[in-house]
Amino acid sequence: MHLARYNASGDDRSPPRKVKKIMDETQVLKKAIKAESLRPFGEDWEQPDATAVRAVLKLANLTGGGAARRLGISDSRTVRRWTGGDSNISYAAWALLCEIAGLGKIW
Q: Given this model, what pLDDT does residue 11 score?
A: 54
Q: Alpha helices of the chain — where are they, by DSSP H?
A: 17-31, 50-59, 64-71, 77-84, 91-100
Model pTM?
0.76
Q: How do residues 37-53 score in pLDDT, each as one tens digit? A: 999 998 799 999 999 99
C-alpha–C-alpha distance, residues 85 and 91, integer Å: 15
Q: Given this model, what pLDDT does residue 60 score?
A: 94
- What type of residue sits at position 57? L
Q: Given this model, what pLDDT does residue 53 score?
A: 96
Q: How many C-beta atoms surround the C-beta of residue 80 within 10 A?
A: 15
Domains and their CATH numbers in the chain = 37-107 (1.10.260)
C-alpha–C-alpha distance, residues 50 and 7, integer Å: 30
Q: Given this model, what pLDDT does residue 7 score?
A: 53
